[in-house]
């Protein structure tokens, strides 16, 4: 139950439990008043299996974008040990013009490019594909090797010391509290004077300002051009988009924009808004763990849900177990990008073999998902 109303979701879950007690029940809950009673909601009469709070996931997404230089999109798998990172290749990128088959020669670390977004088209590349300027590439790297991987794609350190947040709603407050843990200077602009008073009481290290975050005079007064990061988090996506565009025009170094409408997401990069967070997609990622076949541990959507990355447990009777990857007839659009066996993380090659109970990370386009799901389900004769 993922409507915009907590009460509707709770009532729907209650009826679902009455009609089908064994069905897995997920509910989107935003109100902090309800979230205080999560343990109660997981027992009678609701028996919620999963409580989805998209705002918490959106805060984590913003933090990941802040801490990984140059990243447009970031996914974490295997308890953070594997990163799936999207970066835009600029004109001075050292590997622009390089064939993927030659990419490994330029780094001592194992890096796998899982997808390329070029001219709004998603490409699942082969070794013969060539990286080009303005490509948005998604690569997989072990967390401990990420810094070197980013340098390979021309993304150096981007320390941030000054952050300006627009919007002091639930999401803005949660992000401000999370950022207070870091030694940075934070300002937050909120339009509602009463809400500003609440924010001042709730935040210790944040300068709260009352005003319109899309007001050019106010942004100029607050030296937006000197901000390392400008984040728009209001409930109005149109305000977020306009404020981010205005901040970019005024010289803000990096903007992060909250957008949830799926129809707006493909337009964001076209108008220069590379860094986008979506509470809606955060909820989708949680739901996918339960609606996909197989033992899915985590999931991440890409390019407006055109592709997914799934972290799953390899079942013993699967067709993808016990043979080199090069011998498996994967459909175009499905790619194993990492294998985790106990504490060992491997970025695989064609010679790699998946064993039963390995944690594997699979990148798959929408069209290849049915094949992936079928491959991850234990065959009936083995049950």
Higher pLDDT, 358 or 37: 358
**Most confident by average pLDDT, 60-69, 95-104, 207-216:** 207-216
CA atoms of 19 and 364, how far apart (whole Å)? 35
CATH of residue 262: 3.40.50.720
Report residue 380's pLDDT band, with 50, 70 and 90 as the boundaries.
Answer: very low
129 and 82 in a common domain: yes
Structurally, the chain folds into a number of domains equal to: 4
Report residue 43's pLDDT band, with 50, 70 and 90 as the boundaries.
Answer: confident
168 and 148 in a common domain: no
User: What's the pLDDT score for residue 304?
Assistant: 65
124, part of any domain? yes
174 and 136 in a common domain: no
Report cis status (omega within 30 of 0) of the bond before 45: yes
User: What's the pLDDT score for residue 294?
Assistant: 66
Last residue of a domain, one of 108, 130, 152: 152
31 and 139 in a common domain: no
Mean of pLDDT values over 162-171? 95
CA atoms of 358 and 351, how far apart (whole Å)? 16
22, part of any domain? yes
Q: Are strands 112-118 and 82-88 parallel, antiparallel or unpaired?
A: unpaired
119 and 167 in a common domain: no
Contact present, 333 and 364 (Cβ < 8 Å):
yes
Contact present, 251 and 258 (Cβ < 8 Å):
no
pLDDT score of 379 more than 50 = no
Query: Among 106, 113, 67, 124, which Cα is nearest to 89's?
Result: 113
167 and 126 in a common domain: no
Query: Among 339, 335, 359, which Cα is nearest to 348's?
Result: 339
76, part of any domain? yes
pTM of the predicted model over 0.75: yes
Range of the domain at 330: 314-377
Mean of pLDDT values over 239-268? 91
Q: What angle do CA 245, 88, 296 make, to 5 degrees?
A: 105
- Percent of the chain surpassing pLDDT 70: 97
119, part of any domain? yes
Contact present, 360 and 328 (Cβ < 8 Å):
no
57, part of any domain? no
- Percent of the chain surpassing pLDDT 90: 54
Q: What is the CA radius of gyration of the chain?
A: 22
Last residue of a domain, one of 120, 152, 184: 152
Query: Across the strands, what pairs with 229?
Result: 163
CA atoms of 231 and 187, how far apart (whole Å)? 10
Last residue of a domain, one of 222, 257, 281: 281
> Which of 171-175, 246-250, 260-264 shows the lowest per-residue confidence on average (mean pLDDT)?
260-264
274 and 174 in a common domain: yes
Residue with tokens 């949680």: 286
* Residue 130, SS3 per DSSP: strand
Contact present, 94 and 69 (Cβ < 8 Å):
no
263, part of any domain? yes
Residue with tokens 């809400």: 195
301, part of any domain? no
194 and 112 in a common domain: no
CATH of residue 108: 3.30.70.1450
Structure tokens at 159: 């320390």
164 and 147 in a common domain: no
pLDDT digits (tens, 9 = 90+) for 309-322: 999 999 888 889 99
Query: Across the strands, what pairs with 312?
Result: 296, 360
pLDDT digits (tens, 9 = 90+) for 323-375: 999 999 999 899 999 999 988 999 998 999 999 999 999 999 989 999 998 88
Structure tokens at 154: 């021309």
User: What's the pLDDT score for residue 198?
Assistant: 97
pLDDT score of 382 more than 50 = no
Report residue 120's pLDDT band, with 50, 70 and 90 as the boundaries.
Answer: confident
308, part of any domain? no
pLDDT score of 381 more than 50 = no
């Amino acid at each position: 139950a993922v409507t915009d109303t907590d009460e509707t979701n709770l009532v729907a879950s209650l009826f679902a439990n009455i009609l089908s007690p064994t069905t897995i029940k997920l509910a989107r809950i935003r109100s902090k008043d309800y979230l205080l009673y999560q343990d109660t909601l997981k027992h009678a009469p609701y028996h919620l299996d999963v409580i989805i709070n998209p705002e918490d996931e959106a805060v984590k997404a913003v933090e990941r974008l802040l801490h990984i230089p140059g990243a447009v999109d970031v996914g974490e798998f295997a308890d953070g040990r594997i990163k799936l990172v999207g970066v835009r290749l600029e004109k001075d990128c050292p590997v622009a013009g390089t064939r993927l088959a030659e990419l490994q020669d330029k780094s001592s670390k194992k890096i796998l490019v899982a997808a390329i977004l070029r001219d709004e088209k998603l490409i699942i590349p082969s070794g013969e594909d060539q990286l080009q300027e303005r490509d948005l590439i998604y690569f997989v790297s072990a967390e401990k090797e990420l810094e070197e991987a980013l340098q390979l794609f021309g993304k150096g350190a981007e320390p941030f010391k000054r952050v300006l947040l627009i919007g002091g709603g639930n999401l803005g407050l949660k992000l401000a509290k999370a950022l207070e843990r870091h030694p940075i200077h934070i300002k937050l602009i909120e339009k509602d004077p009463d809400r500003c008073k609440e924010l001042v009481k709730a935040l210790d290290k944040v300068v709260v300002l009352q005003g319109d975050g899309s007001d050019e005079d106010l942004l100029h007064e607050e030296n937006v051009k000197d901000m390392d990061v400008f984040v728009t988090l209001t409930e109005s996506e149109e305000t977020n988009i306009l404020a981010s565009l205005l901040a970019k025009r005024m010289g803000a170094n990096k903007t992060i924009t909250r957008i949830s409408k799926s129809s707006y997401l493909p337009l964001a990069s076209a108008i220069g808004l590379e860094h986008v967070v979506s509470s809606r997609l955060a909820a989708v990622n949680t739901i996918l763990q339960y609606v996909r076949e197989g033992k899915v541990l985590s999931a991440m959507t890409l390019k407006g849900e055109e592709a997914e990355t799934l972290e799953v447990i390899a079942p013993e009777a699967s067709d993808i177990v016990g043979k080199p990857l090069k011998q498996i007839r994967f459909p175009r659009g499905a790619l194993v990008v990492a294998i985790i066996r106990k504490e060992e993380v491997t970025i695989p090659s064609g010679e790699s073999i998946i064993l039963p109970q390995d944690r594997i990370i699979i990148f798959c386009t929408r069209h290849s998902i049915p094949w992936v799901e079928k491959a991850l389900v234990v065959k009936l004769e083995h049950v």
